[in-house]
Amino acid sequence: MTTTVTPQADPVSALSTIPVPVGAATPDTTGFRDPSGESGAPRGFVAALEGMRGLAALGVVITHVAFETGATGTPVLGRIWDRFGMAVAVFFALSGFLLWRPHAAAARGGDTAPGARRYLLHRAARILPAYWVVVCAVLILLPTAVHPGSVKLWLANLALLQVYVPLTLTDGLTQMWSLSVEAAFYLVLPVLALALRRLRGPAARWRAPILLTLALVSLIWNFLPVPTPAGTYADNWLPAYLPWFAAGMLLAELVDIAHRATEPPRWQRLLGNRWPMWAAASTAFLLSATVIAGPPGLQRAAPGQYATKMALGAVVGFGLLAPLVLGTGRHRWLGGRIAAAVGRWSYGIFIWHLAVLTMMFPMFGFLPFSGGFLHVLALTVCFTLPLAAVSYALVEEPARRWVRRRFG
């Protein structure tokens, strides 16, 4: 993702527990068992997903550093750095998978999915406290982030409405567009669950085809003449990114089908095999770096190019995650201690890294868009990781624990 107002991919979401998010930004893994069969892991924790989330967060850092140092202008390789922003497709697919998983299970006789009130409280506790800390720090301490008295900018960023309010994506916080999209998905998910509530028991077989249809229909969003205020773009809104979320939701349905089957379905052998799936994801990623998925840099893509990018991002997210949740082998590196730590801190990495990156130039004498990609990247990562660790330990985790104690 680049620092352009037009998203490249995050987030962060955002974001699972990222995040979350996108994020990415980051949802809890409640109700899902680690397919590797590792003992000693708490219920609902998938070590490999945690590692993948951490890699996605670093992918977002890479693309922003590449943009700010001018590395995205390098022939051939620059397009690759630019498309590392497709890491947000992974964040969004993770959100779709992890948050839809209880609904997929409930439709086939599993535990009851969490109520909307409890679900939204946990989502708010997951993303808002640490996010508000970053917004306040950036708008108060970063000179280029805000003009004195800019109430609109403050309110839009605090309320995660910056993709709807013109000229409120600001220095140090431009990556938060994806967290805004992630938050919109959080609000829409209970509505989608309600719409499919009758597809239970034998009728649950229609859930996966409907979600696939939703992903395909969403690809036409950028062709529609959606009226928007000047300075905002409809391709920054949730409908444009539904294919990435739907990829994860579809995977949640497939995982539940496989979990309840007496014998592994034939398709599970393919989708659970990391080599063909990761090859497909890599191919989709490389294709996204070509002109078929849009021009480089800050130029806006044509509707067809944008739709192609969304489709390729869905393949990237689905292809990277499917072997982790449908395969049976242990993923040593993704489930290792280093990857797990980066995964835990991934939300903090996402929300802090751009403010840190902005400060690297005056602190160390680098000129924006004038090279030094590897040096700036190393410095940004080295300063961001401690901040992310502190954010996790002092803000994110205490907020989540308080909500669990207070509301269950």
pLDDT for 91-112, tens place per residue?
A: 999 999 999 999 999 999 877 8
Instruction: For residue 332, give both structure tokens.
Output: 């040593």
DSSP 109: T
pLDDT score, position 230: 87
Higher pLDDT, 389 or 145: 389
Is residue 148 very low, low, confident or very high in pLDDT (cuts 50, 70, 90)?
low
Higher pLDDT, 157 or 6: 157
pLDDT digits (tens, 9 = 90+) for 184-238: 999 999 999 999 999 999 999 999 999 999 999 999 999 999 999 888 999 999 9
Instruction: For residue 132, give both structure tokens.
Output: 């508000």
Residue range 57-65: average pLDDT? Answer: 98
DSSP 395: I
* Contact status, residue 245 vs residue 192, Cβ threshold 8 Å: no
Neighbours of 360 (CB within 10 A): 24
pLDDT score, position 45: 62
In whole angstroms, what is the distance from residue 359 CA to residue 356 CA?
5
**With the C-alpha atoms ordered 319, 41, 262, 332, is the resulting torsion angle positive or negative?**
positive
In whole angstroms, what is the distance from residue 379 CA to residue 381 CA?
6
pLDDT digits (tens, 9 = 90+) for 116-133: 999 999 999 999 999 999
Is residue 73's pLDDT more than 80? Answer: yes
* Contact status, residue 52 vs residue 32, Cβ threshold 8 Å: no
Higher pLDDT, 194 or 1: 194
In whole angstroms, what is the distance from residue 385 CA to residue 333 CA?
19
Is residue 265 very low, low, confident or very high in pLDDT (cuts 50, 70, 90)?
very high
Which one-letter amino acid corresponds to residue 69?
Answer: T
With tokens 């750095």, the residue in question is 81
Alpha helices in 111-206 (DSSP H): 116-141, 151-158, 177-195
* Alpha carbon distances (Å) from 137 to 145, 243, 376: 10, 33, 22
Mean pLDDT of all residues belonging to the chain: 88
Residue range 263-288: average pLDDT? Answer: 96
- pTM beyond 0.95: the answer is no
